[in-house]
Amino acid sequence: MSKVTDIKNFDIGRLSVPFVDHNAEMRAKLRIGMSVSFDNGNGGEVTDAVVVKINKKNVKVRTVQARRNAPAGAMWDVSPSLLTIQDEANFEPPSERDMIIGKIKVLCNKHGITAIDLKDAGII
């Protein structure tokens, strides 16, 4: 057999390794509003943050303290493998009311609506 025939007839199935998502376990533990900390993976600067959104690959967090040249409150997309849960035992997830209020605030900010506008409209 020639080398070309060997390559064409090679069974790729023998090399297949089932996909394992190493970050899935950490994502399963995380909840929105949970306190976490993260670093750059090399033991660098550790930053405290709060989980804002859990995506398939990364977790969106809002920092509690300044990091590098980013102010406190900055948003970061962080790999779940770099996160450490701060205090899981005392964690209480935000109530449904608090989550709805948060979504309303985001929409108001997005569309430039202020509390005065809502008061003038008789909503609050």
Domain boundaries, position 53: 21-92
- Give yes or no: residues 88 and 108 share one domain: no
Residue 111, CA distances (Å) to 22, 74, 100, 101, 108 in order? 38, 20, 17, 15, 5
CA 65 to chain CA centroid, Å, is 17
Strand partners, 63: 49
18 pLDDT more than 70: no
- Residue-wise pLDDT for 72-123, tens only, equals 888 999 999 899 998 765 666 667 887 788 788 888 888 898 888 888 888 7
Q: Is 107 inside a domain boundary?
A: yes
Tokens linked to 81 = 């493998």
Q: Which pair of tokens denotes residue 30?
A: 């995380």
What CATH number is attached to the domain comprising 49? 2.30.30
| DSSP per-residue codes, 50-112 | EEEEE-SS-EEEEESS-BTTBPTT-EEEE-GGGEEES-STT--PPPHHHHHHHHHHHHHHHHT
Residue 12 in domain: no
Residues 112 and 73 occupy one common structural domain: no
Residues 79 and 124 occupy one common structural domain:
no
Total domains, the chain: 2
Q: Per residue in 32-67, pLDDT tens?
A: 888 999 887 777 788 889 999 999 889 999 988 887
Query: 123 and 75 in one domain?
Result: no
User: Do 49 and 67 lie in a common domain?
Assistant: yes
Q: Is 3 within the bounds of a domain?
A: no
Question: Residue 26 CB: number of other CB atoms within 10 A?
Answer: 19
* Domain annotation covers residue 120: yes
For 59-69, the pLDDT digits (tens) are 999 988 887 77
Are 104 and 73 members of one domain?
no
Overall pTM surpassing 0.75 (yes/no): no
**Same domain, residue pair 26 and 63:** yes
Residues 85 and 25 placed together within one structural domain of the fold: yes
Same domain, 30 and 78: yes
Determine the pLDDT at residue 14. 60
